């Protein structure tokens, strides 16, 4: 369940970006609302509801038939780890200076 919600959350971030940027999960909280019904397919949906220059905020749900009756819900933040051509950590000072 956690992997499913983390994955769909990351996809929601990518669809909110104007270009591909590497991302990483910064924080993920999953609330398990009820047991899933055995043998039933789970559907997951996520929405990136806020994005800054370096962080994206996402809410996600997993359910069987209706989003109104979720199996689990997640709240997550993802860090945008790069900006295309800029190397990660390029903003850090050189220790030799």
CATH number at residue 66: 3.10.129.10
The string of pLDDT tens digits covering residues 43-83 is 999 999 999 989 999 999 999 999 999 999 999 999 997 65
* Rounded distance between C-alpha atoms, residue 79 and residue 13, angstroms: 10
Could you give phi then psi for residue 7, rounded to 5 degrees?
A: -65, -50
Using DSSP's 3-state secondary structure scheme, residue 82 falls into coil
Q: Is residue 47 part of a domain?
A: yes
Cross-strand bridge partners of residue 58: 48, 76
Q: What is the pLDDT at residue 18?
A: 78
* Rounded distance between C-alpha atoms, residue 1 and residue 20, angstroms: 26
Q: Is residue 6 part of a domain?
A: yes
Q: How many structural domains compose the chain?
A: 1
Q: Is residue 89 part of a domain?
A: no
Q: Is residue 46 part of a domain?
A: yes
Q: Is residue 35 part of a domain?
A: yes
Q: What is the pLDDT at residue 95?
A: 60
Provide the residue range defining the domain that includes 62.
Answer: 2-80
Q: Which pLDDT band holds residue 93 (cuts at 50, 70, 90)? A: low
């Amino acid at each position: 369940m956690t992997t499913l919600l983390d994955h769909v959350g990351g996809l929601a971030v990518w669809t909110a970006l104007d270009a591909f940027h590497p991302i990483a999960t910064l924080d993920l909280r999953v609330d398990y609302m009820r047991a899933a019904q055995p043998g039933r397919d789970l559907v997951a949906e996520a929405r990136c509801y806020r994005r800054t220059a370096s962080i994206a905020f996402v809410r996600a749900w997993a359910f069987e038939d209706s989003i109104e009756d979720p199996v689990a819900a997640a709240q997550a933040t993802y860090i945008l780890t790069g900006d295309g051509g800029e190397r990660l950590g390029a903003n850090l000072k050189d220790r030799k200076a």
